[in-house]
Chain A
């Protein structure tokens, strides 16, 4: 609910979204129950988030992917997956730290570009499991939709409030889709 309230508030306020794009969905592979996709992501941050990151604020990124029937009206997703990474600054060696969702995998990168690239690689590996039989039999009638976004609720509240109300951030992100044919 809280997240929805924030999203609603930030959605209504015009602002600058991080340049989080999904360029392509390559290397699609599907077996009986699993769809593997490697999404080509392009991640760039607005200045306010770069400042925040270098001043100790941890940024969270999320990639949502779902397989659903390819039709005009959106339907109930048949399978869905979510990837999360955190990006933070590591002052002891002036590197950027990319941490997995569970915190087990940590990778350091000397530049922000490297760190974003590593984050994109991490997020871009999607595993959709539990696919229904009809998708496997006729994949041309289905689509893979994915959305990459910044986790606003993970930001410190003053930053959410200030940047959100100033219009420096927005929660709007686009869905990208590919046919599974």
Chain B
């Protein structure tokens, strides 16, 4: 109930009531203006009522106008339209009202004046003058007669005065004759009516105007709307010191004459009063009309404000709602205030926002689903050891996982949306990779695979690549999904296993007959040497020596194979790498005591758990390999091997790094990728097993080894070994792809 009451447009109802009252008051005022008495009785109330209405309206309008301009300055939606509508309403209201006001003003100003005719004025003046003349004549006549009586009373004794006055009164038709003596003493009096009150002596102002022989007379009104003529006379022979008597006579005016004269006087007085008041009356009418005009204009302005506000409200709501929707608030719902076209527009807006909201929610759900799928896919891609790339039809990079960047040695995450050729200018492996697969990509082959070989500074990489073309239906565009694996280590491990097996069999098959061959050759030499002489003996000794020497060489070779193929059996212990390096380097002192191995040992290196013997063998192999490489270049005196140690910390752990550098010719590029494979050597006297064994020892300690040529200008090869400091996992070296020393 309260809500229903609150929902009523109280302002509009109040103003409608006020307007009705205003109209009623104007009607009453118009009616009252036709009747003087009613006009006087009601006018003040109407005036007060209009003043109150005016004040109320003015207050409401000032509030509304101030609010409208404030909203206009604040840029409130709809305020400009409201201002225009109100201005239009005002223009529509002011123009006709002003015209009506102008003509009404003219009519009142001229119309009221036209009520007063000069001839009427003149006629009334003449009538009054006629009455006045007629009465004056009578007054003068009676004054003369009264003066004669006064003269005649000179000799009459006071005892006969009453009878004498009575006779005169009857003769002249007077109402009253009174003779007054000194000190206003009434000497005698005669009246025409026994019920008439006692005669009163003349008033002092009359007595002041009486002169001897010149009676004072005047017309006087009586309370019963009758006129009387009062004459006061004294004798012409009045002398000082005598008893100055005064006669006062009151004569009735003929009733008809009296009534006519009073009527003329009343008409004249009313007309004069009316004529005198025409200015105020006109001003009063104009004031009333101006009041009505002001109230009408204010009511029109207020109505214009209200109507404009009600008209503009849905538009303001729509503007506000549109702003909210533009800001992303699709939950905006507008109140439907009207049942017309604007209401329909609001309903349509609500339907639109509802649809948008549902679509946004659906899109949001899909986006979340898509994000989840993408996150899942990225997680899968991130943990894949295979490289995954996605290129669009114009070969722009869309997606790349971490493994792809690691394999291709390039920051592909930062290269998204860039052309892959452009990326290739910064990353050589990417360039090589996509040069190798450009043809199937350009041809949009549906599905293909191939093995791609790329070359890095540390060797070559074999990438097994598979790709599919995923066309977007109906668009003519699509996506290349490329998956590739770095098969280098796998192939290398396969080769290593094969070589290990070969070495193990060779060692087993060859070493067994070597000892009998050597013993047989020594026996032949010992027995036949005693029999043969001369040249035969010399041939025998040389041949048996050759056999024994070659057998020893073969034993050495077989031992090397054994070492390579032998399953690791490490004797781990705390090992000081720097001390180990110093011990080994002393073995390479020259005849003059100088060492050709220069040391650059890092300070404060932690001890590691390692097999010192195997590490010593590793160092021997590397230093010997370096010296042999330098000797191959015939740089005898300039031969130099640098051995450096350092403690390295990286995201994959802590390492002891051992770096062996020579100043030889370096490793041929075609051998660089296979340098750690058995029988890979470019030295005529090498077995080709030294570096293979070195790599094996490093891997037994969970470390990594790599080789590259020094490109700083000094030449030579550089071998970098990293052994983990972590005591607990000598075989738990981090994956090579996580930390690749260069």
Residues of A within 8 A of B (CB): 2, 5-6, 9, 51-52, 55-57, 89-93, 95, 97, 103-104, 106-109, 114, 156-159, 161-163, 165
Contacts and interface: CB of A to CB of B under 8 A. Distances in A.
Q: Which of A89, A92, A95 has the most CB of B within 10 A?
A: A92
B64 interface: no
A6 B222 CA distance: 34
Nearest to A162: B280
Interface in B203-261: 203, 205, 218-223, 227, 261
Nearest to B43: A157
A89 B128 CA distance: 14
B281 A158 contact: yes
B205 A114 contact: yes
A6 B41 CA distance: 12
B132 A92 contact: yes
Contact of B220 (A52, A108, A161): A108
B48 interface: yes
B2 interface: no
22 contacts: A5-B45, A5-B48, A51-B276, A56-B269, A56-B271, A56-B273, A57-B276, A89-B269, A91-B265, A91-B269, A92-B261, A92-B262, A93-B132, A109-B205, A156-B273, A157-B40, A158-B277, A161-B283, A162-B280, A162-B283, A162-B284, A163-B280
Given A92-B131, A106-B223, A159 B44 contact: no
A135 to B, nearest CB: 35
A92 B205 contact: no
Nearest to B39: A157
Contacts of A6: 44
A107 B132 CA distance: 19
A56 B280 contact: no
Contacts of A114: 205
Contacts of A159: 277, 280
B205 A161 contact: no
Contacts of A104: 223
A52 B276 CA distance: 7
B641 interface: no
Given A55-B273, A56-B273, A161 B265 contact: no
Nearest to B135: A92
A106 B281 CA distance: 31
A5 B135 contact: no
B138 to A, nearest CB: 12
B360 interface: no
B218 A95 contact: yes
Interface in B264-281: 265, 268-273, 275-277, 279-281
Given A106-B221, A162-B280, A156 B40 contact: yes
Interface string B127-150: 010011001000000000000000
A128 B510 CA distance: 166
Interface residues of B, number: 39
A161 B287 CA distance: 10
Contacts of B45: 2, 5
A9 B135 CA distance: 45
Q: Which of A57, A107, A108, A163 has the most CB of B within 10 A?
A: A108
Contacts of B220: 106, 108
B44 A5 contact: yes
Contacts of B262: 92
A105 B270 CA distance: 23
A28 B203 CA distance: 25
A159 B268 CA distance: 19
Contacts of B219: 92-93
Nearest to B131: A92
Interface string B679-700: 0000000000000000000000
Contacts, number: 88
A162 B43 contact: no
Nearest to B230: A108
A108 B227 CA distance: 12
B37 to A, nearest CB: 10
- The 9 A-B pairs at the shortest CB distance, nearest first, are namely A162-B280, A55-B276, A56-B273, A158-B280, A56-B269, A157-B40, A56-B272, A158-B281, A93-B219
Contacts of A52: 276
B218 A161 contact: no
A2 B40 CA distance: 10
A108 B221 CA distance: 9
Nearest to A114: B205
Contacts of B271: 56
Contacts of B275: 55
B221 to A, nearest CB: 6
A133 to B, nearest CB: 37
Contacts of A56: 268-273, 276
A162 B268 CA distance: 23
Nearest to B221: A106
Nearest to A51: B276
Given A2-B45, A57-B276, A93-B135, 13 more contacts: A51-B276, A56-B273, A91-B268, A91-B269, A92-B219, A92-B262, A95-B218, A114-B205, A156-B277, A157-B40, A161-B43, A161-B284, A162-B284
B131 A157 contact: no
A107 B205 CA distance: 11
B377 to A, nearest CB: 88
A89 B269 CA distance: 9
Given A55-B272, A108-B218, A158-B277, A92 B265 contact: yes
A86 B272 CA distance: 18
A93 B218 contact: yes
Q: Which of A55, A97, A104 has the most CB of B within 10 A?
A: A55
A157 B44 CA distance: 9
Nearest to A107: B203
A49 to B, nearest CB: 12
Contacts of A91: 128, 132, 265, 268-269
Contacts of A158: 277, 280-281, 283-284
A107 to B, nearest CB: 7
Contacts of B268: 56, 91
A157 B273 contact: no
A162 B131 CA distance: 34
Contacts of A163: 280
B284 A97 contact: no
A64 to B, nearest CB: 22
A2 B221 CA distance: 33
A157 B36 CA distance: 9
A165 B286 CA distance: 13
Contacts of A5: 44-45, 48
Contacts of B281: 158
A161 B282 CA distance: 11
B25 to A, nearest CB: 15
A95 B276 CA distance: 19
Contacts of A97: 221
A109 B265 CA distance: 17
Q: Which of B272, B276, B284 has the most CB of A within 10 A?
A: B276
Contacts of B222: 106
Q: Which of B40, B131, B280 has the most CB of A within 10 A?
A: B280
